[in-house]
Structure 1
């Protein structure tokens, strides 16, 4: 059997694809260039390659929370199971997430196992080791978020049929990987799409937040602020503009390329209907559509500029008539603009994984959980609200509980359709109760997804999450 390793060699700005296999020269693991191809393969998987890997993360995080809903096309049954809490271990989106992150971990382990080579420069070893640790930290934090404790593969020679590690072992490993990365990563990423010190700190901050390590989360968020590298852009829409990718609000992005079958994404192709006026005939859409609920759209302040990235009506290219969306739970999220360079449904818009506004709101939330409302926490939220053009909050009148609710609401407005809602609602213990209030048969065990059935079939030592 031939093992294919998709390598991405760094160019001036992006990572360009190059394919390697066992039939490649023997220098694959014994030269800096060869080993870099394996590192870039790990990045390629961590960036959620291809259509399904990109949109699966969005849908698992959003369809399950009532943030969005969808219908139409062959994907509708997958969406319905997410909306109705009827998913199981054969769900394609769940399988996709398990696969890509473990593939990334496999390649990062190969890199780490082959770095002890006297032919490699010390600078190369230090940077490459830090990047591999970052990738494992990111991958395992994502897996832990989705599935809870998973098997820990720390070397490329580990038995492939490992049982799940304990909760404490997985948590300790994620933390130590990201701390190791932070210690040796540069402030500026060595190439676009690769890790930086700020990216590793951001992943660690979100990991601490989601595991309710409030003081650690607050401290790392403050350290990110102190780097002096990141900022809120004056214009909210510029954060997502395809012409402004790599801007100073993005700490960790998943780069995409419309010309690459494995590096593009097709999220907009599952949002808009065929008669929506697309700016370029190359912007192909599928039969499925993604919608926002009226209650969410109407919850925005009338002056909130973030609402501008929701399409509440459009003029049909077929009939020439206005098609209303608001009033029928059919408004469209439009944070990801149509890519003028798209190749059919394949778009090259980068996916913002962690933004600076998320870090500010994370620090505010952590501070509130530590000591209740403070002026510092209020100011952090007001930085985000001021950019959105809405009135600031005042400290008076908030309790710890009401401020927690305000932060969760602010995160909903600021980060809608960015794949954050599920983790936010789980962290604040409203994920299940909110689903029940929507009439779903949601149970506590639904906070985690099931281990894919194909993995259980292949590994008798794996144990399924309770409830499935």
Structure 2
């Protein structure tokens, strides 16, 4: 699937050239061609869809930061001179964000709307073209656009809805429930036209299974978005994926996140991924974000790691030693090639310490460099002389469909029916089945945490379980309910005076 990653990496550049030609009439040969003549070939079509899929690679940057570092799952302590960054990591951890800071809020808004703008241009281009099977590709693009709006309605609530038919000028926001209904309508119309296959050709693309998985998650969070739960519809969309028989759990949990997860059989579980390639589709830098500086030589990395992302002790403690998923963590003493524990000089206390990752973090403002268990869920690409890694990032896995089905049934009081779905996941993890008495909201939320840590969804799950602002954890007290939504960034309101701020900000 290397060709696909190159396509997504280079397609963005190719389509940027084409898109620019809309205003610079002498920039490319396409400007002097009839719009119906482009795209005319499969190569042209791939350039169109490649550019839109390529825009999703920014998800692991600012959107991921908002979805994870505001939760009980990921914390980024300031360590001496590192990871202060105008106080943003402390503000995110403590729920002290404003319309101005941290800048990740504006970064996420812009990332999603850049992707939407690209999709809208490409849908408009395809509608005017004579290329064969364009309806299938337009359906894919509508799925990408719906995915962006799913994150926007989740993070910001009221947002402008922009399509290929939107007029020029500053748009107004739509109510949160209207954005939900737009997403629902888009997916219901597009899913039947999406390709119903789990193949190499559709890897990393919006297949019918991916469309159903997305709609299942939209319905799963309908109560948050509209005030009216849609548990039965969430279960039905999950059934559409399950009954297709195109997907299954990977035997090895961590295979889904391996360096070669595009070709190790994980396609069976990974319904929709964002493809990354260390050369052609860059952006996956998780190894640098989490590893200690002193581990550069151990892993043969070209660049020194940044020693940032880690987890809270309480979250780490939810994993039993029997749970195979506990291997996603890097804990305890770290040894070098000679078998000796690696040491370093700490810039906070001036002392020499072992690199011995401990669950305890003594302070958010002045943590010692060894404190905090680290993430290795995404396999660290050893002897990698390039900043980025090759691991693809799963957005929807078959496991998330099973959990959606289990939760949707449980929320309807169908506990016995829910058990087989959640227990498929627990069996793979090597832990005991849940019984009916184990099926509580608290245990469901913990299971979400164990299965989907570091996959960019924890904030969404906490809000649905009324635990994001309502519960306290280390460094964060119970916070104002206004923080269940991000503020509309001041930068955006300065550019568009029609945007109204979310309540409380």
Scaled by the length of structure 1, what TM-score is found? 0.89
Whether 2:231 is the aligned partner of 1:231: answer no
* Structure 2 equivalent of residue 97 of structure 1: 108
Distance 2:501 2:71 in 1: 23
Q: Which one of 362, 377, 385 corresponds to residue 335 of structure 1?
A: 377
SS in 2 for 1:263: coil
Distance 1:372-1:438 versus aligned 2 partners, 3 A rule? farther
Give the paired residue count.
448
Aligned-pair CA distance for 1:327: 4.5
Q: Deviations for 1:117-167, whole angstroms, at most 9, x for unmatched residues?
A: 46322x1x2112111211111111111111112101122552341110122
Q: Summarize the alignment of residues 191-206 of structure 1 with structure 2, pairs less than 5 Å apart.
A: 191-206=202-217
Gapped regions of structure 2 (runs ≥ 5): 22-26, 223-228, 337-341, 345-352, 362-371
Whether 2:68 is the aligned partner of 1:62: answer yes
Distance 2:34 2:64 in 1: 35
Q: Which one of 376, 382, 404 corresponds to residue 362 of structure 1?
A: 404
Distance 2:35 2:204 in 1: 22
* Structure 2 equivalent of residue 409 of structure 1: 446
Aligned-pair CA distance for 1:250: 0.5
Distance 1:274-1:438 versus aligned 2 partners, 3 A rule? closer
Distance 1:466-1:248 versus aligned 2 partners, 3 A rule? same
**Would you say the 8 A contact 1:313–1:322 is kept in 2?**
no
Whether 2:437 is the aligned partner of 1:427: answer no
Distance 1:467-1:28 versus aligned 2 partners, 3 A rule? farther
Q: Deviations for 1:49-102, whole angstroms, at most 9, x for unmatched residues?
A: xxxx52323321222112121134256522111101111223222122111211
Aligned-pair CA distance for 1:194: 1.8
Question: Which region of structure 1 is more displaced relative to structure 2, 189-198 or 138-147?
Answer: 189-198
Q: Deviations for 1:264-286, whole angstroms, at most 9, x for unmatched residues?
A: 22122110111126654335244
Distance 1:42 1:316 in 2: 43
* Structure 1 equivalent of residue 367 of structure 2: none
SS in 2 for 1:275: helix
Aligned-pair CA distance for 1:417: 1.5
Q: Which one of 298, 301, 324 corresponds to residue 356 of structure 2?
A: 324
Whether 2:318 is the aligned partner of 1:299: answer yes
* Structure 2 equivalent of residue 314 of structure 1: 333
* Structure 1 equivalent of residue 292 of structure 2: 273
Distance 2:450 2:9 in 1: 35
Whether 2:213 is the aligned partner of 1:181: answer no
Distance 2:94 2:423 in 1: 35
Distance 1:28 1:244 in 2: 41
SS in 1 for 2:61: helix
Aligned-pair CA distance for 1:343: 4.5
Distance 1:134 1:177 in 2: 8
Distance 1:80 1:326 in 2: 20
SS in 2 for 1:234: coil
Whether 2:98 is the aligned partner of 1:88: answer yes
Distance 1:12 1:144 in 2: 29
* Structure 1 equivalent of residue 28 of structure 2: 24
Structure (1 or 2) with the greater strand fraction: 1
Q: Which one of 234, 239, 242 corresponds to residue 217 of structure 1?
A: 234
Q: Summarize the alignment of residues 338-349 of structure 1 with structure 2, pairs less than 5 Å apart.
A: 338-340=380-382, 342-349=384-391
* Structure 2 equivalent of residue 42 of structure 1: 52
* Structure 2 equivalent of residue 148 of structure 1: 157
Question: Which region of structure 1 is more displaced relative to structure 2, 185-194 or 449-458?
Answer: 185-194
Aligned-pair CA distance for 1:46: 2.3
Aligned-pair CA distance for 1:291: 1.5
